[in-house]
Amino acid sequence: MSPIRAARRTAFAAVLLTFLAGCSGSAHHETGDRVVGLSPGESPAGTVVPQPSRSDPPPVDPAHWPTGFSRTETVRYPDAAVIRAEYTGEAYLNRLAATWHVTLEAPTTYDFPRPGLLRSGHNAGTAVFWIAATWAPSGSLLTVTCTAATAEPRADDFLADCARLDYPDSTPAATARWVHDTWPGLHTAAAGLTNGSMESPPHRSGPVAVLLHEGTAEAYGGAFRNIRLFGLDQD
């Protein structure tokens, strides 16, 4: 592997773990079937994640979620929980990967930050589409993250397709339509941004929250778009 590709894979891993780790604003670790925040200074799997000098703010209650676009990491959202008990997302992920010709890695069990955390991802160096997921030790799906190079003509369709979770009582068509409708405003908000990313207001669909991001990152070869779906605590 060339030094350039190795560096890019390392950068991709750092960005991917940041998105996989939890909601925007902090990294997270799993306790049972929930994901909770890492203490400032900790980082998953040895990845160096810059930490703010101040303490992380508390999660924002869904009743007070923002309604406009903002810089990523401005708001800390509730910690991810299982989307539905016993819902693994296997059929959905297999369909998504087959449709967009993405080869998913077999889920890997991580012993840090807690034994039993499962992660699966795809990184093919020059790929334009990425899919990643995390599961609780029980096998229930926690999060799905999809990323595309902004320059890829099919990026918006891929990311909208990623929104089509198929858990019981899901509304995949409505969620995909929200994704399509939200991109133009987010693109305008991110115009001229040379570092970092902008974030959409969150969309709630049953037990799932959806966030869109647009920005720039070396790991994705420059401009990228990202969708993150994560389970909400139903207690």
pLDDT averaged over consecutive 10-residue blocks of the chain (235 residues)?
A: 38 43 39 32 32 59 82 80 93 92 81 62 64 89 92 92 94 95 94 87 93 87 90 81
Per-residue pLDDT at 114:
52
Over the range 99-120, which residues count as b (16 or more CB within 10 Å of their CB) and which as e? ebebebeebeebeebeeebbbb
- CA 121 to chain CA centroid, nearest Å: 11
Distance CA 123, CA 218 (A): 14
Per-residue pLDDT at 221:
73
Per-residue pLDDT at 65:
82
Per-residue pLDDT at 77:
80
Distance CA 169, CA 232 (A): 15
Stated pTM of the model: 0.75
